[in-house]
């Protein structure tokens, strides 16, 4: 590719240029064949041996690898007016081949890591890059703690602290980029009162949209329910008038069939009191609350019901709709994790120590970003010259294989090239079909690399 994945590591400084170059080569090999093992992705024993030596090198800091990609991500962020920093956690299960010092997941017999990532997106869903990664696991001691024991820990010692840490990093970015709107987006686990207080007190706060989990209350007494009872946020927003009615198509999942859902949206700006156990520690905060509720759903536990908490205004229909749209932009991080885990098959990595494994995982995170970026860029910038992304020895054999025609005088547009790569990966390209998804792209890119190697090795009649 003209815009090679190696460019993501232009600022890499591992203390030795040979290590920098080795990291770039490993990334290129992984990107060319993301589903292959380390041995299969490498070209020959010398490369394979060098890759394993790289992962075993204690002078290679995984944070330095990510920092270089983060520099490249910042260059893309600087071109945007609004940036969404979406954070989420996924589970990496290495039980079948654990490292010798592997931690455990939610059960003592399950070995692996949790990956908590913060990824930058545009409002339209273009993946700009990985900003923060925290890889962690349990020990048998922490796994045995009761819920009550965990509640007594200071926030800095709780697993939930990772959500607050990433929000603070979003605030830091907002301070560094004062001309941009930075919005932190997260699901229910991030419903922490600490974040709301941080937003109210930070000198350069990032905005946020977080799906509610906790049953929060307003400071206003609910005298009908009792003298010591406070009005519930959920009841207050449910009493607000309907702001928006809309219909959406819900895709099928293992828990529900595909269906069209009718939704009602209500919104209200409310003061919220701190949790009872922390009322002396925290002040009240003001939040926008947006409720999205399905009307006439099946009532089988799959009805849509979101309560979104935000710092953004909700005075107009457009403002309310924007809060919903921003939350929906959280979903591509789930696609990213699917590309990362299935497209790169990272749970099949077999390295002997946790440190070696983590170095490989960070490189694969950049590879997964690249697949996401390319897939979305082809949809959002279809008229871009494909040679901004693909080299001529890549698009030419793809054209000949998919189109079966003589090469055009000028390179195809990026949208057409992405479509052809998708067809190589199994996308049917029927009338009415959506553009190729990430799975078709990672399969198609692997085949494209094989064609490109043959094109360069055996020559052609078109040049």
Packed helices 438-458 and 392-403: angle between N→C axes, nearest 10 degrees? 110
User: Is residue 204, in this structure, part of any structural domain at all?
Assistant: no
State both tokens at 352.
Answer: 């002997």
Q: Give the C-alpha distances (Å, rounded to integers) separating 162 from 114, 116, 124, 342, 408.
A: 12, 8, 26, 25, 51
Whether residue 342 sits in one domain with residue 265 = no
What does the DSSP 8-state code read for residue 433?
A: P
Residues 179 and 53 in one domain: yes
My answer on whether 15 and 154 are in the same domain is: yes
Token representation of residue 67: 């920092």
Tell me: do 348 and 404 sit in the same domain.
no
Q: Could you tell me if 36 and 17 lie in one domain?
A: yes
Q: Output the pTM of the full model.
A: 0.89
Instruction: Report yes or no on 312 lying in a domain.
Output: yes
Q: How far is the C-alpha of 317 from the C-alpha of 379, rounded, in Å?
A: 28
- Predicted confidence at residue 1, as pLDDT, reads 47
Q: Are residues 398 and 452 in the same domain?
A: yes
**Residue 423: CATH number of its domain:** 1.10.740.10
CA dihedral 128, 132, 138, 144 (to 10 degrees): -100
Domain boundaries, position 61: 1-187+330-357
Q: Which two tokens stand for residue 411?
A: 């390179």
Alpha helix positions (H), 6-61: 17-32, 38-41, 45-55
CA distance 252 to 254: 7
Q: HSE-up of 284 (CA within 13 Å, CB side)?
A: 9
Asked if residue 43 is part of any domain, the answer here is: yes
What CA–CA distance (Å, rounded) separates 259 from 297?
10
26 and 161 both lie in a single domain = yes
Give domain status of residue 463, yes or no: no
Q: What is the pLDDT of residues 438-451, one digit of tens each?
A: 788 888 888 888 89
Q: Does 286 share its domain with 398? A: no
CATH code of the domain in which 265 resides: 3.90.350.10
For residues 88 and 53, membership in a common domain is answered with yes
In a domain, 5, yes or no: yes
Q: Around Cβ 249, how many Cβ atoms within 10 Å? A: 8
Which residues of the chain have a pLDDT value below 50? 1
262 and 348 fall within a common domain:
no
In a domain, 371, yes or no: no
Domain count, the chain: 3
């Amino acid at each position: 590719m003209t815009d090679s994945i190696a460019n993501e590591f232009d600022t890499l400084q591992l203390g030795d240029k040979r290590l920098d170059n080795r990291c770039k080569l490993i990334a290129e090999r992984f990107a060319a064949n993301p589903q292959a093992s380390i041995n299969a992705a490498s070209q020959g024993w010398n490369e394979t041996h060098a890759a394993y030596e790289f992962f075993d090198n204690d002078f290679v800091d995984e944070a330095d690898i990510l920092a270089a990609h983060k520099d490249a991500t910042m260059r893309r962020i600087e071109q945007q007016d609004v940036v969404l920093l979406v954070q989420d956690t996924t589970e990496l299960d290495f039980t079948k081949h654990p490292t010798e010092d592997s931690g455990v997941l939610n059960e003592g017999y399950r070995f692996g890591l949790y990956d908590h990532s913060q990824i930058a997106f545009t409002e339209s869903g273009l993946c700009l890059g990985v900003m923060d990664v925290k890889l962690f696991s349990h020990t048998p001691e922490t796994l045995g703690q009761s819920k009550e024991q965990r509640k007594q820990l200071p926030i800095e010692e709780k697993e939930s602290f990772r959500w607050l840490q990433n929000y603070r990093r979003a605030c830091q970015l907002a301070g560094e980029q004062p001309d941009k709107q930075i919005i932190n987006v997260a699901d229910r686990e991030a419903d922490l009162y600490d974040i709301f207080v941080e937003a109210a007190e930070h000198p350069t706060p990032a905005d946020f949209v977080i799906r509610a989990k906790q049953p929060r209350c307003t400071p206003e007494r609910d005298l009908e329910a009792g003298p010591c009872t406070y009005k519930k946020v959920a009841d207050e927003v449910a009493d607000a008038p309907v702001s928006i009615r809309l219909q959406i198509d819900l895709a099928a999942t293992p828990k529900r069939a595909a269906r069209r859902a009718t939704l009602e949206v209500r919104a209200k700006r409310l003061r919220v009191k701190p949790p009872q156990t922390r009322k002396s520690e925290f002040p009240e905060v003001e939040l926008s609350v947006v409720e999205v509720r399905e009307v006439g759903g099946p009532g089988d536990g799959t009805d849509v019901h979101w309560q979104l908490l935000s710092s953004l205004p909700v005075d107009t229909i457009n403002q309310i709709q924007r809060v919903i749209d921003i939350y929906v932009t959280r979903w591509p991080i789930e696609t990213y994790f699917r590309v990362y885990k299935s497209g790169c098959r990272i749970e099949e990595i077999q390295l002997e120590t946790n440190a070696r494994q983590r170095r490989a995982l960070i490189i694969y995170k950049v590879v997964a970003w690249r697949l996401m970026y390319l897939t979305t860029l082809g949809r959002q910038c279809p008229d871009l010259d494909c040679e901004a992304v693909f080299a001529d020895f890549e698009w030419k054999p793809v054209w000949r294989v998919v189109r079966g025609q003589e090469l055009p005088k000028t390179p195809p547009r990026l949208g057409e090239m992405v479509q052809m790569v998708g067809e190589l990966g199994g996308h049917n390209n029927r009338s009415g079909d959506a553009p190729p998804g990430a799975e078709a792209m990672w399969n198609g890119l692997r085949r494209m690399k094989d064609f490109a190697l043959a094109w360069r090795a055996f020559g052609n009649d078109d040049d």
